[in-house]
Amino acid sequence: MAEKKVTLNEMIAQIREWHTEALNMRNDGWTQQAFKDRLEFLHARMTAVVESINPPQTAPTENNNDKE
């Protein structure tokens, strides 16, 4: 059986739902923390993915020839 592909809009909706539940005061602390943990895990993974395709720029180094 083929796996269902998730659309970008479905992903964003899921992330928004997790965010809402992480902040929902009706949830107990354990439930809120579980949603926060999901978001933090996702953030770490996405940061690594984005950095792999867009490596951070290094700061320009000072040119020693310009010094007198």
**Cβ-based neighbours of 38, under 8 Å, separated by 6 or more:** 18
Q: For residues 43 and 29, what is the distance between their CA atoms, to the nearest angstrom?
A: 21
pTM above 0.75, yes or no: no
Tens of each residue's pLDDT in the chain, 68 residues: 678 899 999 999 999 999 999 999 999 999 999 999 999 999 999 999 999 998 767 766 666 555 55
Contacts of 4-13 with CB under 8 Å at 24 or more apart are none
| CA-CA-CA-CA torsion sign (23, 24, 29, 30) | negative
**Per-domain boundaries in the chain:** 28-52
